[in-house]
């Protein structure tokens, strides 16, 4: 005969078993003080947008104040150093991007930090650059453009040496065997002005920044730099589609979240889940699409592999080009 106590235990066991995962998730790490997000870029750009989207979501999710601090300068190096000098207190996040968190490790001769000091936590945003040419260039396809480059002296502009638009051009030349003179500007706006005036012949530029001139017929778009087409211009091919030589070509302007390398995995996991939750919201997707970008949803392990691959990719491109920049 089963006693009442024994009967209660038998009936309770399955309930306890089913409740165990829910209990574990309820005990996930959560912040106990205000969260600080350091953005190594000026307000208004895509890195800043990613940081503010995440800050708003974390504050709503956990009820802790989230403060975004812009620390621009030095191609993102100043903000990255500000983050690394701070305490590994589990409440400070670096909103990094392809510059200071991928290309800088090879580009700068005396970079004051190493990749091993940062823990990639989650992807945030990915978006394409776009290859645009002045209407005077007699090419409507990428193969025609490459043939034209090999027969003519041409120049292209960018927002600065080692920036994503510059390196988009560098890798394009390496893969196609074409040549052109790079003209660095102090930002993309003056470069775009010179392209529209015909003083330079082409440019790799952020899709949104160039799309208005393309739609007005003042520039001709030949392709996007990402591996797949952009939903904003679905008829425009990815460059890797256009020529066998460009099959490896895949360039994103990306933004992601990082923490100190010694941050515990449960903390990293909690932030990653919160970030993924934010990126899956329809309003997040809509906001990013309006800017010609998309949510970069990753697990912690996926984002770590992504960052490692980006560092290796740009290391090879920068070394083949012989690019070296001295830190001021």
Q: What is the CATH number of the domain that holds 196?
A: 3.40.190.10
Q: How far apart are CA 231 and CA 234, in angstroms?
A: 5
What per-residue confidence (pLDDT) applies to 91?
97
pTM of structure: 0.87
**Residue 40 within any structural domain of the chain:** yes
Q: Quick one: 168 and 238 in the same domain?
A: yes
pLDDT digits (tens, 9 = 90+) for 122-146: 999 999 999 999 999 999 999 999 9
**Residue 19 within any structural domain of the chain:** no
Q: Which two tokens stand for residue 76?
A: 């993102």
pLDDT digits (tens, 9 = 90+) for 249-297: 999 999 999 999 999 999 999 999 999 999 999 999 999 988 889 999 9
Question: Is residue 113 scored above 70 in pLDDT?
Answer: yes
Task: Read off the DSSP letter of residue 237.
Answer: P
Mean pLDDT score, 83-100: 95
pLDDT digits (tens, 9 = 90+) for 171-186: 999 999 999 999 999 8
b/e 257-273 (16+ beta carbons within 10 angstroms → b): bbbbeebeeebbbbbbb
What per-residue confidence (pLDDT) applies to 231?
87
Phi/psi of residue 123, each to 5°? Answer: -70, 155
**Residue 132 within any structural domain of the chain:** yes
Q: Quick one: 111 and 162 in the same domain?
A: no
What per-residue confidence (pLDDT) applies to 80?
97
Q: How many CA atoms lie within 13 A of 107 on its CB side?
A: 24
Q: How far apart are CA 129 and CA 165, in angstroms?
A: 7
Provide the mean pLDDT of the chain: 90
CA 38 to each of CA 5, 41, 87, 269, 272: distance values in angstroms, whole numbers, following the listed order: 57, 9, 13, 19, 17
Q: Quick one: 167 and 221 in the same domain?
A: yes
What per-residue confidence (pLDDT) applies to 166?
94
Mean pLDDT score, 41-57: 94
Mean pLDDT score, 69-96: 94
Question: Is residue 18 scored above 70 in pLDDT?
Answer: no
What per-residue confidence (pLDDT) applies to 27?
61
What per-residue confidence (pLDDT) applies to 15?
39
Q: How far apart are CA 104 and CA 78, in angstroms?
A: 12
Q: Quick one: 134 and 234 in the same domain?
A: yes
Q: Quick one: 152 and 202 in the same domain?
A: yes
Structural domain harbouring 278: 36-127+252-321
The SS3 call for residue 204 is strand
Of the given ranges (29-38, 215-224, 225-234, 270-279), which has the lowest mean pLDDT? Answer: 225-234
Asked which of 197, 223, 246 is the last residue of a domain, the reply is 246
b/e 199-232 (16+ beta carbons within 10 angstroms → b): ebbbbbbbbbbbbebbeeeebbbbbbbbbebbeb
Q: Quick one: 209 and 167 in the same domain?
A: yes
Question: Is residue 26 scored above 80 in pLDDT?
Answer: no
Q: List all residues 6 or more positions away from 268 whose beta carbon is below 8 Å from its beta carbon.
A: 119, 121, 259, 300
Asked which of 246, 279, 307 is the last residue of a domain, the reply is 246
Asked which of 220, 246, 272 is the last residue of a domain, the reply is 246
Strands (E), the chain: 35-39, 66-70, 92-97, 118-133, 155-158, 181-184, 202-206, 220-224, 252-260, 294-295
12 pLDDT tier (thresholds 50, 70, 90): very low
Q: Quick one: 264 and 206 in the same domain?
A: no
Domain count, the chain: 2
Q: How many CA atoms lie within 13 A of 12 on its CB side?
A: 6
The three-state (H, E, C) secondary structure of 151-172, written as one string: HCCCEEEECCCCCHHHHHHHHH
**Residue 172 within any structural domain of the chain:** yes
Question: Is residue 159 scored above 50 in pLDDT?
Answer: yes
What per-residue confidence (pLDDT) applies to 187?
83
Q: Quick one: 114 and 46 in the same domain?
A: yes
Q: Quick one: 207 and 121 in the same domain?
A: no
- Of 189 and 220, the one with more pLDDT: 220
Phi/psi of residue 226, each to 5°? Answer: -75, 165
Q: How far apart are CA 289 and CA 207, in angstroms?
A: 11
Angle of helix 265-279 versus helix 46-62 axis, rounded to 10:
110
Q: Quick one: 133 and 107 in the same domain?
A: no
218 membership: H or E segment, kind and range:
none
Q: Quick one: 133 and 113 in the same domain?
A: no
Percent of the chain with pLDDT over 70: 91
Q: Quick one: 142 and 234 in the same domain?
A: yes
**Residue 85 within any structural domain of the chain:** yes
């Amino acid at each position: 005969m089963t006693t009442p106590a024994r009967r209660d235990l038998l009936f309770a066991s399955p309930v306890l078993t089913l409740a165990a995962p829910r209990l574990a998730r309820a005990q996930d790490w959560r912040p106990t003080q205000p969260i600080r997000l350091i953005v190594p870029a000026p307000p208004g750009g895509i890195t800043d947008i990613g940081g503010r989207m995440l800050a708003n979501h974390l504050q709503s999710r956990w009820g802790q104040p989230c403060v975004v601090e812009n620390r621009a300068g030095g191609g993102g190096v100043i903000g990255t150093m500000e983050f690394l000098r701070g305490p590994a207190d589990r409440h400070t996040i670096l909103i990094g991007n392809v510059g200071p968190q991928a290309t800088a490790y090879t580009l700068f001769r005396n970079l004051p930090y190493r990749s091993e000091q940062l823990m990639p936590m989650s992807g945030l945003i990915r978006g394409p650059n776009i290859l645009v040419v002045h209407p005077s260039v007699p090419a409507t396809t990428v193969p025609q453009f490459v043939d034209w480059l090999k027969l003519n002296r041409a120049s292209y502009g960018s927002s600065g040496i080692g920036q994503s638009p510059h390196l988009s051009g560098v890798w394009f030349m390496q893969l196609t065997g074409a040549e052109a003179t790079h003209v660095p500007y102090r930002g993309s706006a003056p470069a775009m002005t010179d392209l529209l005036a015909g003083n330079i012949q082409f440019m790799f530029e952020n899709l949104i920044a160039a799309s208005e001139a393309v739609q007005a017929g003042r520039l001709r778009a030949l392709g996007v730099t990402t591996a797949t087409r952009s939903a904003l211009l679905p008829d425009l091919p990815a460059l890797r589609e256009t020529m066998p030589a460009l099959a490896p070509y895949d360039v994103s302007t990306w933004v992601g979240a990082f923490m100190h390398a010694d941050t515990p995995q449960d903390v990293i996991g909690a932030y990653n889940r919160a970030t993924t939750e934010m990126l899956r919201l329809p309003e997040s997707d809509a906001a990013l699409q309006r800017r010609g970008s998309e949510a970069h949803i990753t697990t912690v392990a996926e984002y770590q592999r992504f960052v490692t691959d980006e560092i290796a990719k740009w290391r090879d491109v920068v070394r083949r080009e012989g690019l070296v920049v001295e830190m001021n």
